[in-house]
């Protein structure tokens, strides 16, 4: 009985200390939006907008491995629009496994050649980057090591990948690079720094100011170890992962030690389940984590945007919708995560259509042919617009039309039908919280595809 009483007192003291810590270190940071905040920079232990200088927090979701069909069907403009507009998600993490089936470096039992696997995975990344950009979201390209344990195992492949990918997206200020997901199996911080010192200069040569995120030892839990010997580069952050049913006070202590030393941190993966990704959820512990992260302006990404039959998945197992999810399509974890994002980003979902003014009609629509079944669409920008919806079809009545969302007034439409006419119209929209209001469509323009 005495030991139990002492243990209760000890737990109470730890909880009170945690509350005091949060209260004393509270940082004002707003939910990020690429259109408003532009490129991000490291500021203290978190992030800030290069446009405004204000602190920002990314509240994102991570895909499951884009190597598999539980993840890649949700890489789309429409899916990300649902996340942004309905659930206050402002960032996506594209998790590309380097090993396991269809792995970038080791395809395992996949029937395709290794080069074909790599081509498909880079195509999925490209779709994800452009879908996130179209929705004013930030996006992490994640070199998702796991079973390979030590990032140095495939270092030469990583150097080639990040050289190619950072050249391709050098003009995308919303792209962040995560260079090693979860080093494990005894991989030391010295091993990781050796790897990072070869990969970071490769990215910096093409993208001098982008945010680069580095994994830490023991499945990215030892941020306290990294804090003792951080890397000698600007705009570099360090990864902490947690699963609230497994990782509790002792892991938050690691975070506190790293914060006290000023280490820039990003939680690129967390869940409410045990570390396995499956099992009973611990919402109380998850709330403690998010409270601590918010208080210190640290960004976080929930695992995972998938319908996999495990409790960490944000969609219900068996959900067939690829976008447009209602609350009934979400898992228990998904309902909790998205409710937290709404309340923590300042949106309660109580806004109505009348809270927004109607954007004016888009004018000045022009179409120009580009080689390779493409057309360039330009139009006059609408003052105060949050973005634009471009609707196009090979039918003048817009049957089976496709939509593209963009935050700029210049868009390239690709993979159009050869020797067909393409009909295009555009409308602007404004958003506030999870409400989007559209203006009237422009007049229709048509162009023949060669």
Q: Look-up: residue for tokens 């992490």?
A: 140
Please state, in angstroms and rounded to a whole number, the distance separating the CA atoms of residues 259 and 275: 23
CB 135 within 8 A of CB 403: no
Which of 100, 182, 285, 310 is catalytic? The answer is 182
Rounded to a whole number of angstroms, the CA Rg of the chain reads 23
Q: Is 341 helix (H, G, I), strand (E, B) or coil?
A: helix
How many angstroms separate the CA atoms of 79 and 211, rounded? 25
Write out the DSSP string of 342-380. HHHTT--S---GGGSPPPPPP---EEEEETTTEEEEE-P
Give the DSSP per-residue string, 52-80: T--EEE-EEEEES-TTSTTTGGG-SHHHH
Tell me the C-alpha distance between 425 and 444, whole Å. 5
Both structure tokens of 27: 């940082």
Closest CA to 212 of 229, 227, 232: 232
Q: What string of DSSP letters covers 268-299?
A: EEEESS-TTS-S---HHHHHHHHHHHHHTT--
Catalytic, out of 100, 178, 269, 310: 269
Element (H, E) at 339: helix 332-344
Q: Is 269 a catalytic residue?
A: yes
**Helix and strand tally (H, E) in the chain?**
11, 20
Dist. CA 188–CA 194, nearest whole Å: 10
Cα 324 to Cα 353: distance, rounded to the nearest angstrom: 18
- For the chain, the 3-state helix, strand and coil shares in percent, each to the nearest 5, are 35, 25, 40
Active-site amino acid positions? 182, 269
């Amino acid at each position: 009985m005495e030991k139990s009483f002492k243990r209760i007192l000890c737990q109470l003291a730890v909880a009170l200390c945690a509350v005091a810590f949060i209260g004393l270190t509270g940082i004002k940071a707003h939910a990020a939006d690429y259109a408003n905040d532009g490129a991000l920079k490291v500021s203290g232990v978190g992030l800030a907008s290069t446009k405004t200088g204000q602190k920002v927090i990314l509240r994102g979701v991570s895909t499951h491995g884009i190597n598999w069909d539980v993840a890649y069907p949700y890489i789309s403009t429409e899916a990300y629009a649902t996340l942004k507009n309905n659930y206050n998600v402002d960032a996506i993490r594209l998790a590309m496994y380097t090993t396991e089936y269809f792995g970038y470096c080791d395809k395992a039992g996949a029937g395709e050649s290794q080069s074909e696997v790599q081509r498909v995975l880079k195509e999925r990344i490209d779709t994800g980057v452009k879908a996130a950009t179209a929705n004013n979201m930030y996006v992490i390209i994640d070199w998702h090591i796991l079973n390979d344990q030590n990032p140095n195992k495939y270092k030469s492949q990583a150097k080639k990948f990040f050289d190619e990918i950072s050249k391709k997206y050098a003009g995308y200020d919303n792209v962040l690079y995560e260079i090693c997901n979860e080093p494990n199996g005894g991989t030391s911080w010295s091993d990781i720094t050796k790897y990072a010192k070869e990969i970071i200069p490769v990215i910096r040569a093409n993208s001098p100011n982008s945010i680069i995120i580095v994994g830490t030892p023991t499945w990215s839990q030892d941020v306290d170890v990294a804090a003792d010997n951080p890397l000698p580069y600007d705009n570099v952050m360090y990864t902490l992962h947690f699963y609230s049913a497994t990782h509790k006070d002792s892991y938050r202590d690691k975070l506190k030690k790293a914060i006290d030393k000023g280490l820039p941190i990003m939680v690129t993966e967390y869940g409410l389940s045990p570390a396995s990704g499956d099992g009973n959820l611990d919402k109380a512990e998850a709330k403690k984590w998010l409270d601590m992260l918010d208080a210190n302006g640290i960004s976080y990404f929930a695992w995972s945007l998938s319908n996999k039959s495990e409790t960490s998945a944000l969609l219900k197992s068996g959900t067939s919708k690829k976008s447009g999810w209602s609350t009934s399509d979400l898992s228990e974890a998904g309902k909790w995560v998205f409710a937290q994002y709404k309340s923590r980003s300042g949106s309660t979902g109580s806004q109505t259509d009348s809270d927004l003014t109607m954007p004016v009609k888009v004018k000045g629509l022009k179409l120009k042919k580009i080689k390779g079944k493409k057309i360039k669409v330009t139009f006059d920008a609408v003052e105060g617009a949050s973005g634009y919806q471009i609707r196009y079809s090979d039918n003048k009545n817009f049957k089976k039309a496709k939509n593209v969302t963009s935050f700029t007034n210049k868009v390239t439409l690709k993979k159009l039908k050869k020797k067909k006419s393409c009909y295009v119209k555009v409308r602007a929209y404004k958003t506030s919280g999870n409400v989007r209001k559209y203006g009237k469509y422009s007049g229709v323009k048509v162009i023949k595809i060669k």
